[in-house]
Amino acid sequence: MKRGIAAFLSAACFAVPALAAGAEAAPAAPRNYFLELYIPQILAVMAGLVLLSHAAEKRFPDRKPALRKAWNWLLLLSFAFCVLPGLCLLIPLGKTIKYLLLDIHVWAGAVCVCAGTYHACRRFSGLFGPRR
């Protein structure tokens, strides 16, 4: 009986560190950067801005040029805030600054894609639909 318990304890002493080492070697779950960088929230805010813009355009038709100018400025600024940090990522910088620049680059890129898509749809609607 003593041999059985001693054999069990010695096997357990060797098995527990092996199990712990196996747990450390297991790959971590993949990170979802789409959610970590708040892309759905940015897209929701941009969709809200598009809806507000359409409502303002219907309610105040004389303000249409000002709304277009605001969207053009948003597109230009978001493009600049996407490109400049993207170019700075090519420079060897500290890790924390690189991550901050990457976050700004991704956020501004999401805004730029939304504003650019809205801009293109508004411009191309005149080509394919009736003129208003």
Q: Is the dihedral of CA 14, 16, 19, 24 positive or negative?
A: negative
Question: H helices within the chain, ranges in order?
Answer: 2-25, 33-36, 39-59, 64-88, 95-128
Q: Are 64 and 104 in contact (CB under 8 A)?
A: no
Amino acid making up residue 54: H
Q: Which domain holds residue 111?
A: 32-128
Mean pLDDT of 31-46: 87
pTM above 0.75, yes or no: no
Residue closest to 111 by CA, chosen among 45, 36, 34, 32:
45
Q: How many domains does the chain have?
A: 1
Residue 20 within any structural domain of the chain: no
Residue 55 within any structural domain of the chain: yes
pLDDT of residue 5: 53
Q: Tens of pLDDT along 46-90?
A: 999 999 999 999 999 999 999 999 999 999 999 999 999 999 999
